[in-house]
Structure 1
């Protein structure tokens, strides 16, 4: 199975877990504060709203609850304060009590500090982004849209805590990779998972029916300004969130999981037409605004954990009494349900953002309850009708009412839709028709009693219904057909929405790729211009230089005055140096096409060491090598030897008059089938400005006339020709580390 199919499988698994999630975890100090407020009579709703607004998980929970309760907000603009004021007291209390709380019993400041991305630091980054968005909105957004800026900023990283909770070890590795490589976290997520936290946050926000403007801000806060302007008809709020996120990261308020410096901050400032005075105001006010929000919580993390446990103990008796009342109400409600109520309940559970599998889950539960069936399942066909290797997802409701989502691979060279179901609506036994659909179902069932029916509308089958007869009922096929058509129509709409979302995500990624390609193309065109200039310079200068050198040699042979002979000798030497400069320039701008072959890593390094020793007239280099010498590399040996030699020569510049030490380590990179060499020196290092320009042609930090500045530039050029890579890390007085990527066989 290809990488694309694996990424799709990983993405489906993540979203499957997210569907099981009742929400994200809040911090114990926030939960303790709210439980204390709930116990008061009367409840201070304004303070409760202020506390909720410090936490992204609870803010999303309250907005979702307000959407389900169909709260009509003033001017149609959702706010936490109005939601808390309008929601029924019991609904609000139930929502807060049911919220998950970040680990409380085993929490310590030391355990929190050991995490690469502490949850409280991530929460602080979200809070800082919200405060920054609120400040920026005063200058950019019309008054009626400004309240949404704070909420959008608070919720913009909704996908990160979700990833942290459903796959903590994998998320920790993604954070580690972001810190090691200096790349954006969302880029690494896309490479490893096939989707990123912005897309997951969008899915969660849609599932919880959050306002569309907040959904767009969550989804689009990582793209560039030009793409946003082309993609979003109302780009101001997403642009405010994008800029607020970058300002919060630059101000180091909390941690976001990305360790590189935001490079496009100025671009967003220009897009929003902010003045320098306005930006200075935002930067001055931001720390104060964050401090004010944090002061809403009157407990430290340690105190909050103890206070939360105490508050839960105080509400235990009340919850038991409420639970008894709820059980009695549940039995009464179950007795009053009939077919119309169940159909209405099914449709009420479906929203414009429901996925096909969620539609299948609700319909399977509806069918089982209405017809008193045993194990019931709904298979979502989707692309599996046209792509043979694509697995089918199936929602299963067991006899005990527990739901599960499983995947099943259709048999090769067999139609996904049984022939008997391609006729007008029919219900047929599963055995002998589609036995393979029963294989992944783990729930108890009697295969002989299983029946299958199509979920089709206008001759297009969107899914298959499987159900277990518990007694020999006579089905009203006409009534069953109506229910199945309702489900098929709803599922077809969900499939179309999912396809549209996938295309939108791919379009956004394609635009980002196009921008990077455009930048690389500009560099390539610049390099071609340099090649043409070098070729012209060589043609125009080599002949005159040859004449000058030849005449100087003739004059020197005939000259007897030693002073004049020395002057002529200098002329000849300088012409040779100029010729070498032209040769270096041509070698950089128009190198020969690589002639690749298999070579052992140890042999490649040894050749580079010998070449460096020859160039610097050294007997040996002080090398500390920890590498797999037998690892096979597929490169042009001459070109990569030259590149490594240039890197070693650059390292020697950090040790005037010495031959090292230079440390070399190797690490296999399974993700892209490469080997990474880590080459370190402990010399003088480079400041940020020098580091940024170190691989540019003709740049040298040495005094004028000492070096031509082509070493690292030439090395990078040769490595790129061989599908390799070069990246530098350095700090003054701490040395330099060069990361070299080489393709394996």
Structure 2
């Protein structure tokens, strides 16, 4: 519309226009003093008509106009009125006011254009009807306000006259916008001028210095009752004029559709204490009063003629509105068809779970929809750059699209034509220009297609391209709106499909994870069982070591005393078997409580060579050929050489046992894994191999496939613990009848993960007397007796204590040269006693020899930190005496 364009062009200049309007009002000629004084006198209740006539006669022009109007209004008089005093007396005060207002306002606000003149005439008709109604309402509610209410009603819309005078074009635009959109006058004024006629009229009334009650009537007659100041002296007259204004609109059929007149009138009636029946009676009386006063304003005195003119204009407007409604109905029916299609698509897409079903449902929904003869919907996967979609032609034929795109998004077809319409091929070829990954729907047009583009970053890009039939093309914005809703549905459905596919993948991943978790749980259960076995083994070793030490010591003492050679050999056999049992217990303890590795920088090839030298003799015996394939790139690693020798010895002995019957080749391979900063050692034999059902149990403690007497079943489990402590890996691959391969992977440097064991500090020696005094502290009576007897046979003075507390008391009371100390004791354990000794000023340098059967690696480390030697139970008598003499020599030194 021209109004909209003009209003948009002036949007930045509204404030300037308002300033210009105020400037014009200030430039209006000031009303003659005589006219203002006459108007002021006429509004007084106690006005003197003779004085009023004398004031009016002071202005010849005003006198002539008043006489002309009164004589015209009083047609039929026998003689014409010749003086103002006669005119006032004959016409009455109220008619004089009408004449004054009609002359003053109409003379000082001229009308130029014919349309403006017609609008002005209708406005004065409305103002006079409002004034008459205000006078009648005041007579029933506040009679003392009748004259003020009449003048207020006559002047309440004076602001409209100012707008017509200063901005006639804008006044016409306001009237057109009001009719077009069924707005109230104030709503239309605000949309165009950003102000209203009430504010403009207030400024004019204040400029003319009109009484305050008239200013309020002009300014507040459109305000709701709640916004009026009820404490003001003028609220009654303002409410009267406001009610009269609304009733006048009803009488003149000037109520817009969006108006809430009924609620406003009801509130005003309640405030003024009036009933609807009284208002109905006022309308007929107001019509008669209007006809009496119309001549003073050069207005049509018969309201029927006015109504006829209004109805004629209304009929013309209705005809124009009917044509416009037909156009809108046509557009609405098209919009309804699009909404129906969108609703159908929304229902059809509700249950799709993959792209194939999505494309099928969309093409099927457009089947029979003649508005879209050709359409396409396609997606491009961000990762795979795969283009998938569907094309439908003439509403029935459809075909799937499937191809890849280049890095710019251009389709790469297997066939050049693809049997697609040329315009559609062009749209797809230019898709790269519209590629974006904004979640908003981007709308564009490329004749004859409407294009709706959307996407998701790092996920997909999609477009809906619609070719419209001819009858749908005149209103592209309507089509953009309707098809944009369909594009929104497609985006939501596509993202649901992608989410469903992602959930399916995650479901599969979860199933795999659950399976792996079950396997890990199974391994954890096995690990817990092994840990329980280890704890049981440690406890058993502790309980066995003490009696075994007693048996071993007694057997050795008997062997030393025995003179019969045969009995001496039998006792020696007992000692050998005890040593065998002790070795088994030691292996068991190493498995249950593996010691942390003592890290050194070593060459793995040298470690392997030392082990191979130990078993080289057996290789020749069993016809085993050794092949070494060492990697020259191998770098030194940080590890415990003794523990690794034990691991490789176990693995190589296992390989030897597997090849003892038929011989074969033993291959030792090393490899440097540069990427992983690790070394790999493989020991391959050509032996009997291991059955598949035994592979999972091969590292279990006490499990062995060897013949009885060839192993304890702890070698591989101990090796596994050592490799784990080195943060390495050990694996096995075996085929029955072909051989077995053990693979060991070790990191190059684990010093940051395994702290080095601190070295033991040395202690100062103590002087020995002529006969060294030794204290034995052990809770086992038989061990105390064996140690006492053995040491006394060597000439030492020996005293014993059966617990740590007794030992502490004896050390405080007497002086000793050597302490033999057990670790596991009631009341006070050996380590706490040892700590107290090292903190004592008198016994800090006392030599201590610890005798234990179950000390853990941590306990062994603490013993070393206290500069103590350690002897494991069961011990050999000669080994015991050697350690005692060594400790006493340190004391001498």
TM-score by length of 2: 0.33
Greater relative contact order (CA < 8 Å, ≥ 6 in sequence): 1
